[in-house]
Amino acid sequence: MPHLNELDEKYRDKGLTVLALTSEGVDRTEAWIKAKGAEFAYAYDPGGLARQLGVRGIPASFLVGPDGKIVWQGHPSGVNDALVTQHLEGAITKPLYEWDGDAKKIKKAFLDGDFGKALAEAAKLAADDPFGEEAAKIVRRVLEGRVGSLTAALEKGDVLTAYEGAKALAKGLKGLPEEEAVDAIVTRISKDKDLKAQMKVQEKLLKITAEEPRRKKDCDEQMDDLKRLLKGHEGTFVGAQIEAKVLELFQLKGRLQY
């Protein structure tokens, strides 16, 4: 755990928050925290989140990007400087729970995805409080990071993420310079037959794997459907997604009893 303390201290002001979750009791948890010298934040979860995330082994770590999506998962030992710095762009450098007073209006608009209103509220606050300017920079940086991530997603072939992300983001960009760039992503995908076809395959992938298999037979059925879906898409981004899911199902099948 020492390396998590180091990462927390090193990147805290750049947007990294290290948070440990446990289903253990308070006494046992606090004794562990003291014995290990953990200095990062920790909280209690009865197991609901772990089930939602599909955790099957402890300890397990997840790195959530500035856009709220899981960008990495694995053993805590795999969390290092290179991994963290790779996903810091667009991160919030001041935790939202510290945005109090009039800054709460900025926070609410930001969490609602209304970047235009968030920036307008930040400008109002800046007249009386220097944090208004800082908040505006943070909101602007997050916005730029999200637009950049959507552009990158489209370029690497993750069409569904780019399309759905752009449509969602566009709702809060009225009057902002980024509105044009985000609208361009939606328009490009909507008018490109090949991109629309790739997105359709990604949607089918999600539909096929919507329910987690409970039996070996269920795994086989999903794998068969995925292998049929893979035909003609080998070597593409969505093809890699399908192959990764097939491997995941194969491993799950090996852990199931029947």
Which among 73, 71, 116, 111 is positioned nearest to 92, based on CA atoms?
111
Summarize pLDDT for 30-41 with one digit per residue, the tens. Answer: 998 999 898 988
Query: Which string of DSSP letters, residue by residue, matches 51-95?
Result: HHHT--SSS-EEEE-TTS-EEEEE-GGG--HHHHHHT-TT--SS-
Rounded to 5, what percent of the chain is helix, strand, coil?
Answer: 65, 5, 30
- Computed over every residue of the chain, the mean pLDDT equals 91
3-state secondary structure of 45: coil
3-state secondary structure of 241: helix
* Pairwise CA distance, residues 234 & 245, whole Å: 14
Summarize pLDDT for 75-123 with one digit per residue, the tens. Answer: 888 999 999 999 887 787 777 888 999 999 999 999 999 999 999 999 9
Share of the chain above pLDDT 70, in %: 100
Query: Which string of DSSP letters, residue by residue, matches 196-216?
Result: HHHHHHHHHHHHHTSS---SH
Q: pTM here?
A: 0.72
Summarize pLDDT for 41-81 with one digit per residue, the tens. Answer: 899 988 778 877 878 778 889 998 877 788 899 988 899 99
- E-assigned strand segments in the chain: 19-22, 41-44, 61-64, 70-74
Residue 12, burial from CB neighbour count under 10 angstroms (0-12, 13-18, 19+): middle
Which amino acid, 88?
A: L
* Pairwise CA distance, residues 242 & 96, whole Å: 36
Q: How far apart are the first and last CA of the chain?
A: 37
- Which tokens belong to 47? 């197991």
- Which tokens belong to 245? 């899911």
* Pairwise CA distance, residues 204 & 188, whole Å: 21
Cα atoms found within 13 Å of the Cα of residue 255, Cβ hemisphere only: 10
**Domains detected in the chain:** 2-86 (3.40.30.10), 96-191 (no CATH), 195-255 (no CATH)
pLDDT at 222 over 90: yes
Q: What is the pLDDT of residue 51?
A: 77
Mean pLDDT of 129-142: 90
Q: What is the pLDDT of residue 90?
A: 72
Which among 72, 65, 110 is positioned nearest to 87, based on CA atoms?
65
Summarize pLDDT for 147-163 with one digit per residue, the tens. Answer: 998 999 999 999 999 99
Q: What is the pLDDT of residue 2?
A: 78
If one compares 24 and 242, the residue with the highest pLDDT of the two is: 242
For residue 168, what are the contacts with CB-CB under 8 A and spacing of at least 6? 113
User: Could you say which DSSP state residue 256 is in?
Assistant: -
* Pairwise CA distance, residues 248 & 72, whole Å: 15
If one compares 187 and 92, the residue with the highest pLDDT of the two is: 187
- What number of residues does the chain have? 258
pLDDT band at 1 (very low <50, low <70, confident <90, very high): low
